Structures are given as C-alpha cells and as structure tokens.
Amino acid sequence: MRTSSLYIFLAGCLLLMGSCKKYLQTVPSDVLTIDDIFTSKANVDQYLANIYSSLPDEMLQRFTGDGNSGPWEGASDEAKYNWDFVYTNQMNLSTWSNTDGTVETFWASYYQAIRNATDFMNRIGTANPNEVPDSLKIEYKAEARGLRAIYYFFLVRMYGPVVLLGDNLISADASTTAVRLPRTSFDSCIDFIVTQLDSAYLNLPYTPTGNQYGRIVRGVVKAYKEQALMLAASPLYNGNTDYSGLKNQDGTQLVNQTYDPNKWTLAANAAKAFITEFVPNYYSLFVEANADPTMQAYLSCKDVVLQDWNPEWIFAFANGGSFIRYDRTPKHVGNPSDQQGGGAFGVTQAMVDAYFMANGLPITDPNSGYAATGFSSYQSVADRYLNNQYGVGVAPHNTWNQWVGREPRFYVGVTYDSSYWLYQDNGYGIIQTSFEYSGNSGRSQSTSDVSPTGYVARKNCAANDANRGALLLRLANIYLDYAEALNESDPGNPDILTYLNAIRQRAGVPQYGAGTNPLAVPADQNATRTAIRNERRVELAFENVRYFDTRRWKIAPQTDAGPFYGMNMYGDGAAFYQKTQLETRVFYSRDYLFPIPNNEILKDNLMVQNPGW
C-alpha cells in the first residue's frame, strides 16, 4: 500500500512535468505583428495615419512640444506668454540649453516619423494586392516620401544641417558604435528634400480623394519644395561665413561659405511654377464677400485662418486640438465661464506698432495720421461686426488714439483695453475687456492668468476649442515668398508688386502704385525689400512665420533682443496708458539655430554641435 502511494505520487509528478512544456507558451499569438501591418488596407491606412500624426499641431503652443507644436509665436517679437512655464520665456532670455527636454522632443519625434515613413516605403510594395491595389501602393508610397521630406525640412529649419539616413533603417540590436553617423551638409539636406519632393510629386493627385483634406497632394510637395529653396537662398545659409567653423570632424563644411545668387532664382522659379500650375485651379486667396469693403477685408483676414481648408490653405494639421481659445480669451471675471479665459498670450507693443494705418501707411510715416496720445470716440470694424453678428448695439466708445483708425488686420489680430470681446453670449451683458489693474482682465484678478502686455492676440481664436485644422502653409506665404525671391534675383520685375499688392488688396489697404488711393511705389530694391518684409509681418502675424523669417534674414539680433514694451498692468485709468518695459530680451548668435540635443552629441562622437552651444 505504501509503495503504491509512492507510485501514485511519482506518476503525478511525471504528469505535471509532461504538461510543463506548454505551460510557458503564453505568447500573445493573436496580437498584431510587424508583418500583419501590410496584410490589409485598414492596417496600411492606420500605419500611414500614424506617420501623419507627427505633423505639428501649432495650436498647442502653450505647452511647447506638445503635438510637436513649436515655440514660434511666443519666441518671436510678436508675442509673449505670461506663464513662466512656457518654454519661449527661456528662449527669449536665451537661457535655454542643449540639455532641455524640449530641444530633444522635436529631434526625436521627427526622426521617429522618418523611420516609420522609410519602413512604410520599404515595405508597402509587399502589401496584400487583394486589398491594396498597385495604384494605391504607388500613391501611398509617394505620400510617405513627401511626408518624410517635409519632416526633414522641419528638422533642417530648426537645427540646420542634420543626419540624413536615406532609405536605411538602423537595426534594433545594432551596437552603439555601429550607428554613429555624422551630420550632412546643409545643401545636401536641401537637395535631398527637393529631389524627394519632386519624386513624390509624380505619383500624387492634385486633390485629395474623398475630401480627405490634409493628405499630401501635388500642391503640398511643390509648396514645401519652394519653402526649402527659400530657406537655402536666405542669408542664414547662403554663404553665411559666421558658420565657417561648423564642420564635421573630417573637415566637411556643413554650411556653404560662398553666396550664390542663383539660389534666389531657384526659389523664385519654384514659387512661380507653383502659382502657374495651381492658381487659381486649386488654390486662391480667400475672400469673404461683403458690400462694405472694410468689413470684407476684416472678415476675409479673420476667417482665412479660422475656416477649415478654404481655398487658400495649402497644408495644415487636420482636426487638431487647441489650447488657443483659453490662451487668447482674456480673464473676463464675472462673465459667463465660456467667455472666461487665461488671456496670457500677450501681443508686444512692437507687433501692435507694426500694423499699418487704414490709409496703408506705417505709423512711422509722418503722413499716416497716427496719434500716440489722447482718446477719441471710435467704432472699429470689429465693433460693427459684433453688432451685425450679435445685435449687441456697440456704439462708438472712448478709445486710445493709438488704436484708432488702424487697418482691418489690426482689429483681426489684437484685443486691447476697452475693446469689445470677439464673442458674446446672448442673454448676458455685453463683454468688454478691461486690462487695467482693477479691470475684469487686469492684474488684480490674477498674477498669472493675465496679459503681460495689456494686449492679447485674438487672431485664430475660434468660437470653441473643438478640433479643427491648424494651418501650416497658405497661398499668401507663397505670394510673399515669390515677391521676396524675385526682388533678390530680379529686382524691378513687375510680378513683385503684383503679388505684394494682391495681399494688400485683400486686406483692404491701399496698394503700391495701383488701385484706389495708391501709395508710392517703393523706390528701389531695398525699399521694396522693406515693404515686402513689413507686409509679411502683418499678413502672417501669429502664423508661425515671423520666428523663421527673422532668423533666415539674419535680423533677429535687431528684432529679438533689447527692451520689449506693453501697457502698464499696474495702472488704472491714465496710469494704464503708459508704455512700459516688460523685459529685455537676449539674442546670442547661437540662438539662430536649435542646439543638437546634448545626449545625441554624447552618444555619437561624430556629431558636431551647432556654433555657440
């Protein structure tokens, strides 16, 4: 009997051991594998969608780097965030560092998208032909190629010359030493971007099928080709001897040292080619028709950024989230909570001053009629819009003279003290913004949720924060690029004023040498350059363009350094209307470029750092 229990016991053990082999086989066999991605169209679509998802959602800029949103607005001379946590404050004082996580975010996430795009391109050919027809494979591959080139463009625009990986994928078990690569020269980066975009063009449609706005189409790749060539022609990279020391360890010069005027010609040609091929069939300047020409200009300039995929939009992050509404709605204490915001995205006095007068002249022009002091009873075009929209009956009211009689784009762009809020809630009292110390949006209400300057940007502030397109590139950029490149390569070409005036006409301001009440034509190439730059600053304000412009023109030491001004946030009444210095911005020559993230330098001993970092 006892022997038998031993046998039973041993038999039991054997039984257990027999089942052991399978015991550990709990592999998740039915999860998606790397090969499953290309077995169905649904998966292919999702893989490609993920590559798109790295496009920057510039409406998230409050948290620099969220959704790859950049510091472009707060770190330009257009605006200042009052919140200390916003990275742009560090950039403005030049206390940012190559060890900052924000610096690494863009670098890492664009390269992740680049890796996925390359993997997609390498393997889309193997996709299940029953689900993904060859024609679609070719088109999708071109989309991925176009996206990859655009991501490289974003990297180059920030960091200068970068590491070009081509069609190679670095293996997961590669040894650390095996993956060390040097940077590629700037011109080679641009060449790669341009040829890739040209190559993608061949297999792309003109318009997205099925209203799938946001897909890479022919216009997008040609527009970014033009953008890349503009960057290459600009002073920052075109024979910039400040970068003579930027060399790889093997001596390769990373930024060319001789000015090449032909680069402007290439850029002008690319812009012209774009206009010829796509305008007006696919893109045109957005106009919201109205019997009142000032109202038409106001509505057109206000809605060109708000109305998703109007004919002027070339590229955007489709259906992105937004923090803009809270940033750009003043605090408005005591009003309906929907209309209470943080209002911390302040417009600088420099930007306020950059807007033209209604007569098209800059405020510095003695004939402009600009008055820096005093008050007038004034009804702005924005007030009239409110009356039409909400029937609130805003009458002419006491307004500081600096804000009286400006061009429509000023009223599109800026919320100033005593102006009426862009949105009103029917049934509540009318909402008027007061930035004075004790006002509903003044500093006595909060030291953080308050404008630092006494102005808040109102451009691109939508009625609600629902997902919408975050504009990346519109036709106005191309027009102004064209005018600029032509003025550099072929001064006096009549196209320069044609396209510059097209922008002014839409904005409801008198044109140079054309239309009603024309202004004098700029005297020479220099004057034309100034006119183009001033127009760009106003037309593309708060659209993430100014930051790059001041850098590629090499004027940032003038525009982004020194004292910045606003109103006196500690004052009530007359005390408020004092031009008050907010801060002194600092710009070192290193600040032209983002630093290569310090970790990359430590990991890769072939990687050289940007000058000054």
Partner 1 sequence: MRKANMRATPVALVRLLTCLLLLLYAGRAFAQGPVTITGVVKDKLNKPLEAVSVQVLGTSRGVATDSLGKFSIQLDNPKQQLHFSRVGFVAQTLGTGNSFYLDITMDAVEGSADEVVVVGYGQQKKISLVGAQSSINVEDLKEPVANLSASLAGRIAGLVGVQRTGLPGSNGADLWIRGISTFVGSGNDASPLVIVDGVQGRDINAFDPEDIASFTILKDASATAVYGVAGANGVILINTKKGKIGKAVLMANYNEGLNSFTKLPQLTNAYQYMTLRNEAEIASGFQPDYSPAYIDSTVAGRQPYLYPNVDWMKALFNKLASSRRANFSARGGTENTTYYVSLAYYDETSLMKTDGLQAYDADSRFRRYNFTSNVEMNWTKTTKFELGIQGYISSTNYPGVPASPGGPSAPQQIFADVMQTNPVLYPIMYPHDIVPGVSSAGAQPNPYAELTQTGYQSIFANQLYSNARVTQDFSPLVKGLSAYGMYSFDTWNSQTNANERQRSSYLIDKTTPYNPDGSPNLDLISTGSDNLSFTTSNGGNRQNYLEAAVNYDRNLNSKNHLTGLILYNQRSYTTAFPTNLTASLPYRSEGLAGRITYGYNDKYFAEFNFGYNGSENFAPQNQFGFFPSIGAGWVLSKEKFWNGLKPYLQFFKVRYSNGVVGSGGISQNNNVRRFGYLTLVSNQASGYVFGNGVNNSTYGGIAITDYGTDVKWSRSHKQDVGVELKTFDEKLSLTIDYFSELRTGVFLQRASLADYAGFINNPWSNLGVLSNKGFDGTLDVSPFSIGQTSWTIRATFSYNRDKVIQNDDPIQPYPYMERRGVNYLSNFGYVAEGLFSSQKEIDNAPSQAALGSVRVGDIRYKDLNGDGKIDANDVTRIGNGDVPNLVYGFGFNVVWKQWNFGAFFQGVKGAQRQLGGDGIFPFSNSTGAERSNLFTEALNRWTPGNPNPHAFYPRLAYGAAENSNNDVPSTWWEKSIDFLRLKTIDFGYTLPRGTLKSIGLRNARIYVQGVNLLYWSSFHLWDPELNTTNGTLYPNTRNITTGIQVNF
Stretch 118-147 residues interacting with partner 1 (CB under 8 A): 119
Interaction residues for partner 1, span 17-36 (CB under 8 A): 17, 20, 23-28, 30-34, 36
600 binds partner 1 (CB under 8 A): yes
Site for partner 1 in 568-587 (CB under 8 A): 570
DSSP E strand stretches across 16-158: 79-81
- Which one of residues 146, 161, 214, 346 is an interface residue with partner 1 (CB under 8 A)? 214
Does position 84 interact with partner 1 (CB under 8 A)? The reply is yes
Residues 434, 426: Cα–Cα separation, whole Å: 20
For residue 31, the minimal CB distance to partner 1 (Å) is 6
Q: Segment contacting partner 1 (CB under 8 A): 248-256, 403-411, 461-469, 511-519?
A: 461-469
- 395 binds partner 1 per the rule CB under 8 A: no
Min separation Cβ 573 and partner 1, Å: 13
Q: Does 207 bind partner 1 (CB under 8 A)?
A: no
How big is the CA angle at 72 (ends 354 and 207), to the nearest 5 degrees?
Answer: 100
Residues 234-293 that bind partner 1 (CB under 8 A): none
- Cβ-contact 582, 559 below 8 angstroms: no
- Evaluate whether 175 touches 223 at the Cβ level (below 8 Å): no
Q: How far apart are CA 310 and CA 285, in angstroms?
A: 9
Looking at 136, 279, 333, 514, which residue binds partner 1 (CB under 8 A)? 333
Q: How far is the CB of 255 from partner 1 (least distance, A)?
A: 19
DSSP conformation class of 551: H
Is 167 a binding residue for partner 1 by CB under 8 A? The answer is no
- Which CB atom, from 200 or from 503, has the smaller least distance to partner 1? 200
Q: 32 or 202: whose CB is closer to partner 1?
A: 32
Shortest separation between residue 282's beta carbon and partner 1, angstroms: 15
Q: Give the DSSP letter string of 265-287.
A: HHHHHHHHHHHHHHTTTT-----
In the complex with partner 1, the residue whose CB is nearer, 159 or 243, is 159
From the list 127, 277, 251, 312, the residue with the least C-alpha distance to 608 is 251
What is the Cα 48 distance to its own chain's centre? 22
By CB under 8 A, is residue 206 in contact with partner 1?
Answer: no
Q: Which stretch binds partner 1 (CB under 8 A): 115-123, 195-203, 277-285, 376-384?
A: 115-123
CA dihedral 222, 136, 48, 205 (to 10 degrees): 20
Residue 534, Cα to own-chain centre: how many angstroms? 19
Residue 603 as a binder of partner 1 (CB under 8 A): the answer is yes
The pattern of x and - marking residues 42 through 81 that bind partner 1 according to CB under 8 A reads: -x-xxxxxx-xxx---------------------------
> 3-class secondary structure for 347-410?
ECHHHHHHCCECCCCCCCCCCCCCCCCCEEEECCHHHHHHHHHHCCCCCCEEEEHHHCCECHHH
Q: How far is the CB of 459 from partner 1 (least distance, A)?
A: 19
In angstroms, the CA 314 to CA 74 distance is 24
The reply on whether position 426 binds partner 1 by CB under 8 A is no
Contact call for residue 389 and partner 1 (CB under 8 A)? no
